[in-house]
Chains A and B, each alone.
Chain A
């Protein structure tokens, strides 16, 4: 029986080390799991980086993968969340020709209705920015498409846990206990 695949967000807190991205992604490639997106950034803890990884997989497989990630020497903590357990966003940029704007007020109405904004208006093109869930950035894309989108990009998912403390809380305790051994 095929077990249903669902949307998961994996967060990984790590040391800032060259090669670690490769080490983490190889855990997915070994199992032929496609990463929908992967974002690296600083975390709330000084010197500690975090990866936010979006996958659609079975929960069983996600559990196994997270254990393999956490096992890596320079990983402090790896966790996974179901869709409802995170607050998540993606950022999208849409480039369209400036002349589309001058032919009426349609574009401005669309941007306003989608709670998007003009990031920049140049002589030849404008860039519109929209943050939201994928379905929201997709909806704006669909509405703008008839006017001609010159370039489009959507960021990877970023997400925080839907609870008072994220995984960083445990890590701070861990770091306090082992402050001298990097």
Chain B
């Protein structure tokens, strides 16, 4: 289902029923929105909804996470893999506050979510009742929209608006807080999907003049360079994007959230941007003459020091959110609109060019990076295992067809740098917020959202322990999550910074870990551990070929670093290869 498809299916668009409870109305509304799976955790203030769910188990599957943070990251993973809206249920008070990290993550990474929280009965609002918290107030800064329902009759419209707002335009998380008395009240239920709100414009109107100006700039450019982000994936504009870059042989580099929008092997895919991105894509940002940003927001991890960022270039910014224009980088030619519509308009105005000389610059940089960094990372000459070689062999086993979910840290950078992708929506990672603990539950959600695909969760020993309890949810749901733990017994990324910028003062980064093999066994998940290189190939074969969940721990070098690196506060051209 298209994430931006807003046309309701005709025969499902409305229904009318007399006198059902608010709780039942919530469940029926979810079903009418096409929700087949919801992640959550019950509790006092949401109990009527859980009671209603009992009668709809055949149509709406509920996944019982082991912590609300697990539930919401699972909903995020589900959404990112399937393109559908992720749904999350929680009770009031601590249930609701435990969602906040995931909501903030979804807000900064534009993930469509609908979170439904129970709230104390309306007559107790403001009385500091048991498990009362002002979740509306708390979630305002991290939601696209939120709303508190205190009467059952408000439920259909509130939920319809929630789904419409979450998935339309630049997607984002929405929270609906529903008092317990509203869940018990009766209402005449009629549901109609929302397709417009008078104060809200999903996407700005396209100005053809801007398209023409952008086309002219690209046609006149000697060294045009494209940066693409998740906007391509959210707009489902992968084909339109490919046609665009191919038309004029434009080298294209991705942000971490744009990864997998274009297959890794495509000759115009020049690699990763940002702090641990590829050498050429960073360095040549300051050599291009026209910089074309598509569906990306110039995050500081991409740009480094803005005063040293692409100052020589004319910047074209294709973007759905007007607030992103000129936010970080000045756009000489802003092209507002949905990329699925603007890209073809631009492509049809582009001249065919070969640009061999310019593309050769990327190839040269690639060769240099390969010689100085990649070769040794992927094929190490000493006996210490590297994260890179694990990913290299993983690529061989998956053929680039798997969904790779990562947590946050060194393993994330290595996985994003070296994992190969053939299809879109295959890289799921916490980009903007950098939420440790995201990976395992997000992989669970991805696996349940795309049961026909292989889902690998690449995770570090630090992040794994933040949400390790979700192994129980993986077991209970029988989700086929392949957990690949790259264990360096350190909070590796922080340790790397301590080594490089804090005189090797390893403050609070070494981890004396539990026995992860025993733990995985305790969660009833098949497990294996690799300590030597000669075990790796066979172990990864078994890891991928085993039908069902699997836990593979690889002991990697304790003090390996991720390079290249644009040190914090430096310009992109100051990228270090060692």
Q: Give the B-binding residues of A (Cβ under 8 A).
A: 14-15, 18-19, 22-23, 26, 30, 63-64, 67-68, 70-71, 73-76, 174-175, 178-179, 181-182
Contacts and interface: CB of A to CB of B under 8 A. Distances in A.
Contacts of B145: 73-74
B299 to A, nearest CB: 16
Nearest to B136: A19
Contacts of B196: 178, 181
A23 B140 contact: yes
Contact of B199 (A22, A67, A75): A75
Interface string B194-229: 111111100000000000000000000000000000
Given A73-B197, A76-B199, A175-B198, A18 B323 contact: no
Contact of A73 (B144, B321, B322): B144
B200 A26 contact: no
B198 A181 contact: yes
Given A19-B140, A30-B141, A182 B323 contact: no
B148 A14 contact: no
B148 A15 contact: no
Contacts of B137: 19, 22
17 contacts: A14-B199, A18-B148, A19-B136, A19-B146, A19-B148, A30-B141, A70-B322, A73-B145, A73-B165, A73-B200, A74-B145, A74-B200, A175-B198, A178-B196, A178-B197, A181-B198, A182-B198
Contacts, number: 54
B353 interface: no
Contact of A181 (B197, B326, B327): B197
B323 A64 contact: yes
A26 B321 contact: no
Contact of A71 (B140, B147, B197, B322): B322
Interface of B: 136-137, 140-141, 144-148, 165, 194-200, 321-323, 325-327
B140 A15 contact: no
Nearest to B194: A181
Given A64-B327, A67-B323, A68-B323, A74 B140 contact: no
Given A63-B326, A73-B145, 9 more contacts: A26-B140, A67-B322, A73-B197, A75-B199, A76-B199, A181-B194, A181-B195, A181-B196, A182-B197
A74 B141 CA distance: 14
A98 to B, nearest CB: 41
A76 B198 CA distance: 8
B199 A74 contact: yes
B200 A22 contact: no
A76 B199 CA distance: 5
A76 B141 CA distance: 19
A67 B198 CA distance: 18
A64 B326 CA distance: 8
Contacts of B141: 26, 30
Contacts of B147: 19
Given A71-B321, A73-B145, A174 B198 contact: yes
A175 B198 CA distance: 7
The CB with the most chain A CB atoms within 10 A, among B147, B165, B200, is that of B200
A46 to B, nearest CB: 13
B323 A15 contact: no
Nearest to A48: B199
A63 B324 CA distance: 11
Given A18-B148, A19-B136, A19-B140, A73 B199 contact: yes
The CB with the most chain A CB atoms within 10 A, among B140, B141, B195, is that of B140
Contacts of B198: 76, 174-175, 178-179, 181-182
Contacts of B195: 181
Contacts of B197: 73, 178, 181-182
B140 A22 contact: yes
Nearest to B200: A73
A101 to B, nearest CB: 44
Nearest to B161: A73
A31 B165 CA distance: 25
A18 B200 CA distance: 17
A75 B197 CA distance: 11
Given A19-B136, A26-B140, A71 B323 contact: yes
Contacts of A71: 321-323
A19 B136 CA distance: 8
Contacts of B136: 19
Contacts of B140: 19, 22-23, 26
Contacts of A175: 198
A74 B327 CA distance: 22
Nearest to B198: A178
Contacts of A179: 198
Contacts of A68: 323
Nearest to A18: B148
A26 B139 CA distance: 11
B321 A15 contact: no
Contacts of B322: 67, 70-71
B203 to A, nearest CB: 12
Nearest to A67: B323
Contacts of A73: 144-145, 165, 197, 199-200
Nearest to A72: B145
A26 B194 CA distance: 27
Contacts of B323: 64, 67-68, 70-71
Contacts of B146: 19
B298 to A, nearest CB: 13
A61 to B, nearest CB: 11
Contacts of A23: 140
Contacts of A63: 326
A15 to B, nearest CB: 5
Contacts of A22: 137, 140
A179 B197 CA distance: 10
Contacts of A178: 196-198
A63 B323 CA distance: 9
Contacts of B148: 18-19
Contacts of B165: 73
A22 to B, nearest CB: 5
A74 B143 CA distance: 13
Sorted nearest first, the 9 A-B pairs with minimum C-beta distance are A178-B198, A67-B323, A73-B145, A181-B196, A26-B141, A73-B200, A76-B199, A71-B323, A181-B198
